[in-house]
Amino acid sequence: MSFQSSLRCLWAGAALCAGASLWAGEVEVLHYWTSGGEAKSVVELKGMMAQRGHTWRDFTVTGGGGQNAMAVLKQRVLVGNAPAAANIKGPAIQEWAELNVLTSLDAMASFERWDEVLPKVVADQMKYKGRYVAVPVNVHRVNWLWANSAVLKKAGVAALPKTYDEFFAAADKIKAAGFVAVAHGGQDWQDFTVFESVVLGVGGPAFYDKALVKLDRAALNSDEMKKSLEVFRRIKAYTDDKSLGRDWNVTTEMVINGKAGFQFMGDWAKGEFLAAGQTPGKDFTCSAAPGTDKAYTFNVDSFAMFQLKGWEAQKAQGYLAYLLMGKDFQEKFNLRKGSIPVRLGMPMDKFDECAKTSSKDFVATSASGTLVPSVAHGMALSSSQQATMRTVVSEFWNNDKLTVAETLSKLLAVSAPKQK
C-alpha cells in the first residue's frame, strides 16, 4: 500500500481499506432534510456508511431554511456535545470556525485534490484561514420559476415569462382560469427567496451584488430597489390567503397537484416533483425567474465537521467526509435532491434537462462574473445581517400599510454595521 493510500486509510478509517470495520464508529449528523426528495437523498448516504459498518444517527430538526437546526446546534455545542457533522453553509462556516470547534479536513482535501475538483468560489467558502473545515455536497440554483404545464395550458399561457410584464400577464390568465397564480409559503426565508430573484431580475447581477451582498447604501436607496419592492409587493396579489406559515414543500405540492401555476423556489423543489413521479418538460417546467436567465444565485449545501474526542468517532467522521466528496455519492445524492454535483467535470448524462441547464449556466455565469450568492439561503451575509434583512422584507410582504420609502429606510439601517 502506498504512503498516500495509508494516510487516506488513517483519515477515512480502516473500513475504507479493508472489508471488515474493526474501528467502526458512529456519526451523528445534524441536518434538516426531511421532505420527500431530501429524505431519499439522506437514505443514500446512510446506506453507504452502513456498508462499511459505521452507524449513522440522525439529529433531524424540521423547519425550512435551517433556522431551527442552527438554534439546536448552538445548544449542543455550548454544553460540549457537538454532533460529528452539521449542515452549515456560507459565512456561518467561518463563524463556527472562529469558535475553534471545527476540525481540519486538510489531510483528506489534499489527498483527494479538492482544490482541483471544486470551483474556487465554492472552495473558499469551505475554508477558514486557508484550511478546509467543511465539505460541499451540491450546488442549488435559487433563481428558478417552476410551473405546472397543464395549468399553463388550461389558462392559455403559451410561453414561459421572460420579463415581469410577461409574468404578470400570465398570472392574470392563470388567476382568471380559477387557479392560484403563485404558490407561496409565507415564511420569512421564502419571502426573501422571491425578493432576491426580483432584485436580480429588476436590477441585474451587478446591482444585486452591490445591494444585497455588499449592502451598498446608494444601491439600497436607489430607484432599482424601489422598483424591486413594488414588483415584489405586486406578486403577493397572486398568492392565496392560506399562505402564511406554510412549508415550502407543501407549497410545491400545490403546483404538483395542479392547484397553482407558478412557484419561485430553488431547485430542491424539483426533488419534490421527481419524487411525485413527474417529468420535467412534460408535467412541469423549469425556467430562470423573469429577467435572470443570464445570472445564477447559488446555494451550496455543506457539512461542517466538529472536533470529536473518540478515535472510532473520528474515523467514522473521516469516512463520511470521504464519501461526501466522492463521485458516487455526488451523483446519487444530486439525482435525488434536485441539485447538481459540486465537483467539476462530473458527467451529467443521467441528469434531467433542468439539471443540465443548471450545470451549463453555473459554468457560464462563473466565467462571466454573474454568479452571485443567495442571501436568502445564507451564502452572503452574516447570520445577524441575514436575519434582519429577512425580517424587513417579510414585514413589507405581510403589512400592506408599510410604504416602500419606510422599507428602504429599514434596509439602509441594515447596512450601517458595514460602513467604515
Per-residue pLDDT of the chain (420 residues; tens, 9 = 90+): 333 444 445 444 433 444 434 567 899 999 877 777 678 878 888 888 999 899 999 887 766 556 677 788 888 888 888 999 998 989 999 999 999 999 999 999 999 999 999 988 889 999 999 999 999 999 999 999 999 999 999 999 999 999 999 999 999 999 999 999 999 999 999 999 999 999 999 999 999 999 999 999 999 999 999 999 999 999 999 999 999 999 999 999 999 999 999 999 999 899 899 889 999 999 999 999 999 999 999 999 999 999 998 888 899 999 999 999 999 989 988 887 779 999 988 999 999 999 999 999 988 888 888 999 999 999 999 888 999 999 999 999 999 999 999 999 999 998 865 444
Closest by CA position to 322, among listed 95, 109, 14, 20:
109
State residue 389's pLDDT score. 96
Cell numbers at 316, concatenated: 467514522
pLDDT score at 12: 47
| Phi, psi of 401, rounded to the nearest 5 degrees | -80, -20
The CB density around residue 260, as the number of other CB atoms within 10 Å, is 26
CB neighbours of residue 107 within 10 Å = 16
Strand partners, 141: 298
Phi-psi region of 361 (alpha: psi -120 to 50; beta: other; left: phi over 0): alpha
Q: Which amino acid is at 25?
A: G
DSSP letter assigned to residue 278: -
Q: Is residue 383 classed exposed, middle or buried when 0-12, 13-18 and 19+ CB atoms within 10 A define those classes?
A: middle
DSSP 8-state secondary structure symbol assigned to residue 212: I
Residue that the C-alpha cell 415584489 belongs to: 232
How many angstroms separate the CA atoms of 195 and 197, rounded? 5
pLDDT number for residue 19: 42
Q: How far is CA 101 from CA 89, 134, 236, in A?
A: 15, 12, 42
> For position 416, what pLDDT does the model report?
64
Region label for 98, one of left (φ > 0), alpha (ψ between -120 and 50) or beta (otherwise): alpha
The DSSP bridge pattern shows strands 26-31 and 55-60 to be: parallel
Sign of CA dihedral 44, 48, 50, 56: negative
Model pTM? 0.84
Structural domains present in the chain? 3-140+299-353 (3.40.190.10), 141-298+367-418 (3.40.190.10)
Cell matching residue 205:
447581477
In order of 215, 335, 413, 416, the CA distances from 419 in angstroms are 9, 43, 11, 5
Number of residues assigned to the chain: 420
CB 228 within 8 A of CB 195: yes
